[in-house]
Structure 1
Amino acid sequence: MKYLLSITIIISANFSILSQRLDTTIFNSAFEKQLFQKVIDSQVFDPMELFFSMNYHESSVNQSKNKLNNFYKEIAPELISKQIKKQIKTIYKRTHSHFLTKYEEKSFFENIFENGTFNCVSATALYALVLETYHIEYVIKETLQHVYLIADPKRDQVFIETTLPSKGTFYVDEHYKKNYVEYLENNKIISESEFKTQSTESLFDKYYDENKTITLKELAGIQYFNDGIFNYEASKFVEASKSFEKAFILYPSNSIKLAYHTALLALLNEQHQTKKYSAITLAKFINLNKNNNEAKTLTEDYFGLLTEELVINHPQLGYYEKQYHDFQDYISDSIDIKIINQQYFYYTGYANYIQQDLPKALVNLNKSFELNPDNINTKQLIQEVVSNHIFKDVNRERELDSLKIYFSMYPFLLKNDKFQIYFTYCYLRIIGEAMHYNDVPKAMKYLSVFEDQIKLYPDIVMNDKYVELAYGELASYYIRKTKYNEAEKYYLKGLALAPNSYELKKQKELLSSQKTGLNEYLNDSKNYDKINNELALEIPKNPDEKSGFKESMDTFFPGSWEAVNFIEDGQTKAVPKDEKLVIIAKPNNKLEFNMGGIKETGRWAIRNKGHLLYLIPKDNENDYLVFKVVEISKNTLKLQAYDGGKLENIIVQFKAITQ
């Protein structure tokens, strides 16, 4: 009896297993593997071996072949003088009496030679082999419930029935017919219009594999199919799927595809329940269902569960990577697995990031991004990886180069406020530091590029503090050069970028105030030297000027002063010996001072407004120093220096000394 089972259809498809990589683990022996490889490669093979291959044992097979050969020798004399029809009857009777003892549905070809048990598949195979030996033509017929053989089909058409179909266990009910027809429609074996306009009964009768002529190879496929059914009924889904896969290789019928699908689905469910996922099983399932959207969704969901288990819940990244590569190896090239690929690269990148393997994380995340540039999770994780890389680097120029590369790869980063601020920060920090150390060419190079970037991205976000840093240093440089108009230009540029910057406004106002004060002392007499072509500092000379500050300076400042302490944030620190500073001021406004062992001469001047003290070196009058006089008395002098038009936070305390 051809043994079948009524199976609920969930998802199925039209599929050729021969187009996929062969899973060699489905074979029970090297003999079986080699034999199936011959079938797949369309090489010559002995069909009889297919009936022994399922449970192959060399010694048993040899014994069975010997029994057959002895039987052939035994009946050969009885056939010599008979006509074909009588030969067939003799073969039927002698074969049945010699080999077939008891009918059992759950039996296989090798059981005939072991204990005489048989079913319609194994007995039909035996008769076919005997008829072939004596060169008698035959055809094998498959019906809904049965297989049988017709000997000498072109003339006498002798039917050889090996069993009684009425004793079978398969029932074709309405539920089975409905599922079978839905399977045909789901997988586009029948059209949608045909499905909607014809009855289930008529479609089932039209398309079910009934009364077909099959080959001996396909009959062997039915034997594997029966083995799959037995295993499926015993909930041995691994073994069932293996048997159905081999059956499908030998005989790719709709019935076998349906059974193979159902076993795979049951196996996937079992693997999910036990958390022992197999991407190979998943690949086989989608290969079998490649034209079905529901199957594609199920496959993506299953891979998501596999990912969650192996990356999130119980991380095994190496095993996860193996599962993915197994899936890639077995999947059909015609199946779109873009979503699964994107998911794999994202979660692998995520695992790399957690392990702080940032280069590897970015490689995988980049692949995920290329597959789906709109995925929010991928973009967010790329931001985190790039941030982790960039924000830990202390080399601003290198950071800037990296940011430009990242922006070209991931344009969405440039829309992020944090990256915009950091991008502008790098430029502004490089410019500010270069100006601070008088590397003007470098500062101007980066300033030019920065201002071009601002034109390109006029809405880019930047931090006022960093604008103050760069443009404050630029202005300070030109103040030191007494190029006040140029300094003012950079204050204005800075305020254009940071209009609410209190510091830039304050420094600009101070610059304007200083320019006004200097102009008050503009040299209009032969007694004063010009500092540059634009401005000169006046040495105060009017003894009748009523000013407490001027009187104090005239009274106490001429003399010798040595810096002894720095006062910063309320804390007093002694001046290091190697930073020794001595000022010798003379009544005629002449000046000598010693800074760190370097002696200078020049002159000093004051500005009443603001209580400012100017120390002007003779050799380079443009390089003068400006201090705010915080306190002056007979023995104490406290000065607070200006740098770039801005008061420093440090007060230098001097004491009067005797030379």
Structure 2
Amino acid sequence: MLKRFLFILSLLVLIVSPGRSQSGGGLVNYSPYENESEKAIFNQSSENPFLLLQAVHAKKNTSLKGYNKLVEKLDKRAKNKDHTKWFLGEVFYQTHKVLLKEYKKHSVFNDLLNQGLYDCVSGSAIYALMLERYAFDYKIIETDFHVFVLVNENGENFIFESTEPRSGFIHDPGRVKEYLRAFLPSNSQSNNDRNPSLGSLAQQPGEAKTIFKAISLTELAGLQYYNDAILHFNENALKTSLNQLAKAQKIYPSDRVVALRELLEQMDHENQELASR
């Protein structure tokens, strides 16, 4: 069933108009919120990615104890920020030491702040926030099934792979190239959102890689909603999945977000017709 669903969706994405997907915010007419905290954050934090990342499964009292501890530690070390490789290593390893305690697929940014649970989306988000704080030139890279952070300083590239606490800070030029090569599109269809999954399904051997693009922290918050929508779909919670996709589309109307929402809306409509017979 799931394989059939993914195949149908892959075909659907092929026919989504790029122009329409980029104006997808206009398709969002109603987006029910999980609670008042989410509603307040979602509608007031468009210019503050740190808050917007906290919108998914928002809590009234999010703990910032670990976050503030990390900032305090790194602020002290930032005096030696000119020692680029050393300081970037400190950012990577101190973040894991203080905040990133346990990898858990489909965990969200609030899980990271409150419990130390993270996945590639929330892990990359905290690294991007730290790199922005210390004015590094970085990019959040979205691929078909994964997100990571690429830093470029003084002509050198560094990888922040959040899911590898021991070896995820990659600075050797050869290893950096090897890492990037594993995610680069396998054909000329780069930057086309043709795959419906992110961090939720493992890539199958021989499957084409089509997405490799830099996104903003705000767009990453949209991907967090998208990822959560897939989780709820897999749990047969179609309505909740649609709610999450509506919010994902408002923040980041990428092709795969729009396509998945349109497909699930069609499924929901068909379910309602069957129920009314």
**Normalised by the shorter chain, which TM-score bucket?**
0.7 to 0.9
CA contact (8 A) 1:141 1:150 kept: yes
After superposition, the Cα gap between the structure-2 partners of 1:21 and 1:171, relative to the gap in structure 1 and judged at 3 Å, is: closer
* Counterpart position of 1:239: 240
Q: Where does residue 152 of structure 2 map in the other structure?
A: 152
C-alpha spacing 1:89/1:232, structure 2 compared with 1 (3 Å)? same
Check whether the contact 2:41–2:54 (CA below 8 A) recurs between aligned residues: no
Query: Cα deviations across residues 608-653 of structure 1 (Å, max 9, x unaligned)?
Result: xxxxxxxxxxxxxxxxxxxxxxxxxxxxxxxxxxxxxxxxxxxxxx
Query: Residue 102 and residue 234 in structure 1: after superposition, are their counterparts in 2 closer, same or farther (change >3 A)?
Result: same
Contact 2:222 2:249 in 1 (8 A): yes
Q: Which residue of 2 aligns with 1:294?
A: none
- 1:23 is matched by which residue type in structure 2? Y
Q: Distance in 2 between matches of 1:78 and 1:37?
A: 35
Contact 1:88 1:151 in 2 (8 A): no
2:44 matched to 1:52? no
Partner of 1:32 in structure 2?
38
* Corresponding residue number in structure 2 for 1:260: 261
User: 2:245, 2:153 → 1: CA distance?
Assistant: 31
**Contact 1:79 1:90 (8 Å CA) reproduced:** no
Paired residues for 1:167-566 under 5 Å? 169-172=201-204, 208=210, 210-275=211-276
Query: Which residue in 1 is equivalent to 2:69?
Result: 70
Classify the secondary structure of the residue corresponding to 2:8.
coil
- Structure 1 residue 92: Cα displacement: 0.3
Distance 2:105 2:259 in 1: 21
Deviation at 1:133? 2.0
Separation in 2 of the partners of 1:171 and 1:271?
Answer: 33
> Pairwise mapping of residues 632-643 of structure 1 onto structure 2 (< 5 A)?
none
CA distance in 2, matches of 1:154, 1:84: 9
- Report the alpha carbon displacement of residue 57 of structure 1 after superposing the two structures with TM: 1.4
Q: Return the offset for 1:13.
A: 3.7
Rounded Cα–Cα distance in structure 2 between residues aligned with 1:92 and 1:7 = 37
In structure 2, the CA distance between the partners of 1:136 and 1:21, relative to structure 1 (3 Å rule), is closer
Counterpart in 1 of 2:110?
110
Is the CA contact (8 Å cut-off) linking 2:148 and 2:160 kept in structure 1? yes
Structure 1 or 2, whichever has the larger Rg, is: 1
Which residue does 2:136 correspond to in 1? 136
Q: Deviations over 1:116-147 (max 9, x none)?
A: 22111010001111122222231111112211
Alpha-carbon spacing, 1:153–1:258, altered in 2? closer, same or farther (3 Å): farther
C-alpha deviation, 1:153, in angstroms? 5.0
SS in 2 for 1:55: coil
Question: Does the CA contact (< 8 Å) of 2:24 and 2:258 recur in 1?
Answer: no
Instruction: Show the counterpart of 1:84.
Output: 84
Cα distance, 1:77–1:86 mapped onto 2, change above 3 Å: same
Residue 227 of structure 1 deviates from its aligned partner by 0.5
Mark the runs of 5 or more structure 2 residues left unpaired by the alignment. Answer: 165-181, 184-198
Matching residue's letter, 2:227: N
- Once the two structures are TM-superposed, the CA of residue 156 in structure 1 deviates from its matched residue by 2.4
Once the two structures are TM-superposed, the CA of residue 27 in structure 1 deviates from its matched residue by 1.8
SS at match of 2:149: strand
Deviations, residues 530-558 of structure 1 (Å, cap 9, x unaligned): xxxxxxxxxxxxxxxxxxxxxxxxxxxxx
SS in 1 for 2:53: helix
TM-score scaled by structure 1? 0.33
1:240 match: secondary structure: helix
SS state of the match for residue 92, structure 2? helix
Aligned to 1:643: none
Structure of higher RCO (CA pairs closer than 8 Å, 6+ residues apart) = 2
Q: CA deviation at 1:168?
A: 6.9
Q: Percent identity between the aligned chains?
A: 22
Q: CA deviation at 1:28?
A: 2.0
Secondary structure of 2:248's counterpart equals helix
- Checking the alignment, whether the CA contact within 8 Å between 1:248 and 1:257 is kept in structure 2 is yes
Contact 1:109 1:122 survives alignment (8 Å):
yes
Change (3 A) 1:88 1:35: same
| Alignment gaps of 5+ in structure 1 | 178-203, 276-308, 310-659
Q: Distance in 1 between matches of 2:28 and 2:90?
A: 46
Deviation at 1:157, TM superposition (A): 1.8
Contact 1:221 1:248 in 2 (8 A): yes
